[in-house]
Chain A
Amino acid sequence: MLAALAAMLVGSSLVLVFFVAPEDADQGLSQKIFYFHVPIALTAYACFGWGAHKALLLLWRKDERYDLESFVAIHQGTIFGALTLATGSIWAKASWGHWWLWSENQLVLFLVLFLFYSAYFMLRFSLEEGPRRANISAVYALFGIVLVPVSFLAIRLAENVIHPTVFTREGPQMSGTMFFTFCVAWIAITSLAYTLYRLELLGKRLDSNLRELREALSS
């Protein structure tokens, strides 16, 4: 049901992006990357936030199920983060003529955030399974969340603004159709991420339960 809804929303947003939303006067067709690039980036932030929330619950309530939930959310966030970097880089090449600009703080800060959460997996898989690994992973996930507002605000506070700021205090700097398309795409990407989160969590829980069952049967 959830997967069907996500597929329908993604399909609808693609129709809106390619057949309804008008072409941007400055950037032309390449501006249409925006409709998926920004929602993917926002979803990556949300996944890291969700992972940190679950990590906090693990440390607070000492319930191990939150460890798996935090891990899956951060895994999702890292995948969406990689997609943000890839689509952003393609859009940058189309708009600015460069794949990457090290002078742009917002790009570098997002890369730092991505690398920080990539290192989470190195830390996690270098430790033996158990409460110690769960606690250390949770503390690391909580530290990382500090980088999310820094990365998000950098786009607004950067002095050298090459990266566009579409949402300002005066509201969204785009036409009504463009904004509607963006909102549908945002809901679509969020529902897709949530569907994949539930699916991955289901697989991991099944795997864990089966391992316990196998151990019980073999003893």
Chain B
Amino acid sequence: MSSGEKYLAAAYAVIFVTVLVYVAIIAAKLTRLERETAELARLAQARRHERG
């Protein structure tokens, strides 16, 4: 591998890894929000049963 190829691979790897980490962080956050939404839905349902 020539030095030009190494630098080219490094530059594109930096972009790829950054975008991947960013998407992974957003995906983890959306998974947490989904879990919290389900929890709140259960809580709201329990409240409805208590009242009525």
Binding site for B on A (CB under 8 A): 27-30, 32-33, 36-37, 40, 79, 82-83, 86-87, 90-91, 93-94, 192, 196, 199-200, 202-203, 206-207, 210, 213-214, 217
- A196-B22, A199-B26, A203-B30 known; A90-B43 Cβ under 8 A: no
Q: Which 8 A-B pairs have the closest CB atoms?
A: A94-B7, A29-B4, A30-B4, A33-B11, A90-B11, A28-B4, A87-B11, A86-B14
A32: chain B residues within 8 A (beta carbon)? 8
Known: A79-B22, A86-B14. A91 touches B29 (CB 8 A): no
Measured between beta carbons, the chain B residues less than 8 angstroms from A40 are 15
Given A207-B29, A207-B33, also A91-B14 (CB < 8 A):
no
Residues of A within 8 A of B2 (CB): 28-29
When C-beta atoms are compared, the residue in chain B nearest to A24 turns out to be B4
With the chains together, A40 CA to B43 CA distance in Å? 45
Contact of B7 among A33, A203, A206, A213 (CB under 8 A): A33
Tally B residues with Cβ within 8 Å of A: 25
**CB of B29 to closest CB in A, whole Å:** 5
Complex Cα–Cα for A83 and B8 (A): 14
* B50 adjacent to chain A (CB < 8 Å): no
Tell me the minimal C-beta distance from A82 to chain B in angstroms.
8
Q: A36-B11, A90-B14, A94-B3 are in contact. Are A217 and B44 (CB under 8 A)?
A: yes
B residues less than 8 Å from A206 (CB atoms): 30, 33, 37
- Which of A28, A192, A214 makes the CB contact (< 8 A) with B19? A192
- The CA-CA distance from A196 to B11 in the complex, in Å, is 20
Greatest chain B CB density within 10 A among A28, A40, A82 is at A28
The one of B4, B33, B44 in contact with A94, judged by C-beta atoms closer than 8 angstroms, is: B4
Among residues of B, the one whose C-beta sits closest to the C-beta of A90 is: B11
What 14 new A-B contacts, CB under 8 Å, besides A30-B8, A90-B11, A90-B14?
Answer: A27-B4, A29-B4, A36-B11, A83-B14, A83-B15, A86-B14, A87-B15, A91-B7, A93-B7, A196-B22, A196-B26, A203-B33, A210-B36, A217-B40
- The CA of A82 and the CA of B15, in the complex, are separated in Å by 10
Which chain B residues in 23-52 approach chain A with CB under 8 Å?
23, 26, 29-30, 33, 36-37, 40, 43-44, 47
Say how far A124's CB is from chain B's closest CB, in angstroms. Answer: 18
Contact A83 B7 (CB under 8 A): no
Partner of A33, one of B8, B19, B37, B43: B8
Q: Find the residue from B4, B14, B43 having the highest chain A CB count within 10 A.
A: B4
